[in-house]
Structure 1
Amino acid sequence: MDSTWFRRFGAAPEGSMRLVCFPHAGGAASAFLPLSRALGGRLDVLAVQYPGRQDRRREEPYRGIAAHADALAEALGPLTDGPYALFGHSMGAVLAYETARRLAAAGRPGPLRVFLSGRGAPSPRPGAHDRLGSDKEILNAVRGLGGTGHTVLDDPELLAMVMPALRADYGALGAYRWTAGSPLVSPLTVLVGDADPVVAVDEAAAWHDHTTGDFDLRILPGGHFYLDDRTDEVRDIITTSLLVAGSAA
């Protein structure tokens, strides 16, 4: 395992399936600590640590989705030798999807399932909520999304540490343009909060067009960061879906 890119928060059960988790914009691997603990003893949970945050804060963050996904696919390639799945939240959903596309193009084994959370399906035009040009707009957007991590924005020292990653991530999302290509073969499970202020249910449902496999849409109570309060429900969705996928593989 590439220790630069992936963090494991507990012992991996012997012979368990891998679940690789991609954080949201401005987020870090630790965002998936609660889910990792909830899945302990069932899956080998690896959380992606993007450059420019936490223990990689001295590295330059990626400023484009394509280049970031290229690097992630290269790092993830050696881990595709056994059964695995991907889970991405918000910006992480875009990166999980684009990484899966690159792995398929490289002829690597695909994930048994891709979980896409808190993000509408991609299109050739940027989403209205991605076009943020100033720090003030970014901070207002992040505060509007809520979640446990937004409290760091009230601490000037912590804010100075997270702003470079936020600028890079929102800049990457604003510049992202989906390009048409073959849909994924892997089944998709799409999760969205019923009160998400930036992702409508029909936008989440549009991911259906991006796979030739099974499609499952799950609407959970909560906003953009519904996962903070619904970790056990998300755990059950993941484990039930992967048990079915594993038995069919």
Structure 2
Amino acid sequence: MTSDRWLRRFHPGGDARARLVCFPHAGGSASYWHPLSGLLSPRTEVLAVQYPGRQDRFTETPLRSITELAARAVDALGESDGRPLLLLGHSMGAVVAYEAARLLESSGAGPDLLMVSGRRAPHLRRPEAAHLLDDRALLAHLASLDGTDAGLLADPEIVALALPAVRADYAALTGYQYREREPLRCPVTALVGDDDPVTSPADARGWERYTAAGFDLKVFPGGHFYLNGRHDEIAAVISRHLEALV
């Protein structure tokens, strides 16, 4: 692992030809990306963002700002080392990754590709108030997305530790204000499940307007967490993009 609070490296990547930075979903943690890291290492250095308020950062106050999450992650990433850089974010992480991509482009540090998963394009605003739900309703909402082990949601101690971060993340999404800006100079690939109750393939296609360098949409069988159990397929998509870059 890296020593930085914001980034985790689960597998060796010193001789990798490219870097992939992964941004978790609302309530998620860096470890969500561990399986993907194992599949892509050592040819790709995979760095997973660890937001405050979870796992080894559970004593820290969660942030309630998408742009601040992006800025902190970009600061931790540091200067470009010349290798191709890819960003991948799932659900809330897709929006954080998008804002991170904008910051990186403004500094001339890339990225070479943005991959957004399970999240509608930012201009497709809809009411979001999950952070205002009571504990029971919020847990039911999380269960409906089928991305969290039911045993964890039934454990009072784990729930007590996790809910503050979940609420903060949903509050960050609610408070996020998209404004029209120039499209990214890097390509964008959108990934989505064909039965996602939160983001439809049409919603995911909305990301096409966010790039001036090419757009691709890939639809997989499954719901909001279609990635679970499909890490081989996701790794193959990433690898094909990497081969084109290097």
Q: TM-score, normalised by structure 2?
A: 0.93
Verify the 8 A CA contact 1:51 1:57 in the aligned structure 2: yes
**Tell me, what secondary structure is at the counterpart of 2:206?**
helix
Verify the 8 A CA contact 1:120 1:199 in the aligned structure 2: yes
1:131 counterpart (129, 136, 147): 129
The 5-angstrom pairing of residues 209-248 of structure 1 reads 209-246=209-246
Amino acid at match of 1:158: I
Q: Tell me the CA shift for residue 76 of structure 1.
A: 2.2
Q: Label 1:26 to 1:80 Cα distance change in 2 as closer, same or farther (>3 A).
A: farther
Q: Label 1:226 to 1:35 Cα distance change in 2 as closer, same or farther (>3 A).
A: same
Cross-structure match for 1:177: 177
**Tell me, what secondary structure is at the counterpart of 2:78?**
helix
Cα distance per residue 1:135-194 (max 9 Å; x no partner)? 344322211100244541110000001011001001111111111111111111110001
Verify the 8 A CA contact 1:10 1:40 in the aligned structure 2: yes
Verify the 8 A CA contact 1:80 1:110 in the aligned structure 2: no
d(CA) in 2 for partners of 1:151, 1:214: 42
Cα distance per residue 1:195-240 (max 9 Å; x no partner)? 1111011000010000001111000011111111211000000000
Aligned length: 243
**Tell me, what secondary structure is at the counterpart of 1:226?**
coil
d(CA) in 1 for partners of 2:212, 2:108: 17
Structure with higher helix content: 1
Q: TM-score, normalised by structure 1?
A: 0.92
Q: Label 1:178 to 1:149 Cα distance change in 2 as closer, same or farther (>3 A).
A: farther
Cα distance per residue 1:72-129 (max 9 Å; x no partner)? 2222232564321101000000000011112222x2321111111010100173x33x
d(CA) in 2 for partners of 1:186, 1:80: 18
Cα distance per residue 1:26-48 (max 9 Å; x no partner)? 00000001111111222100100
Cross-structure match for 2:29: 28
d(CA) in 1 for partners of 2:211, 2:150: 33
d(CA) in 2 for partners of 1:191, 1:206: 12
Cross-structure match for 2:9: 8
Q: Label 1:31 to 1:213 Cα distance change in 2 as closer, same or farther (>3 A).
A: same
Verify the 8 A CA contact 1:13 1:43 in the aligned structure 2: no
**Tell me, what secondary structure is at the counterpart of 1:152?**
helix
Q: Percent identity?
A: 46
Cross-structure match for 2:115: 115
Cross-structure match for 2:68: 67
d(CA) in 2 for partners of 1:174, 1:160: 22
The 5-angstrom pairing of residues 34-183 of structure 1 reads 34-79=35-80, 81-105=82-106, 107-123=107-123, 125=125, 127-128=126-127, 130-132=128-130, 133-135=132-134, 136-149=136-149, 151-183=151-183
d(CA) in 2 for partners of 1:122, 1:213: 18
Q: Tell me the CA shift for residue 70 of structure 1.
A: 2.1
Name structure 2 gaps, 5 residues minimum.
Answer: none
Amino acid at match of 1:166: V
Verify the 8 A CA contact 1:4 1:49 in the aligned structure 2: yes
d(CA) in 2 for partners of 1:221, 1:169: 26
Cα distance per residue 1:35-65 (max 9 Å; x no partner)? 1111122210010011010011111111111
Verify the 8 A CA contact 1:19 1:84 in the aligned structure 2: yes
Instruction: List 4+ stretches of structure 1 deviating above 4 A.
Output: none
**Tell me, what secondary structure is at the counterpart of 1:87?**
strand
Q: For structure 1, which segment, 57-66 or 87-96, has the greater mean C-alpha deviation from structure 2 after superposition?
A: 57-66
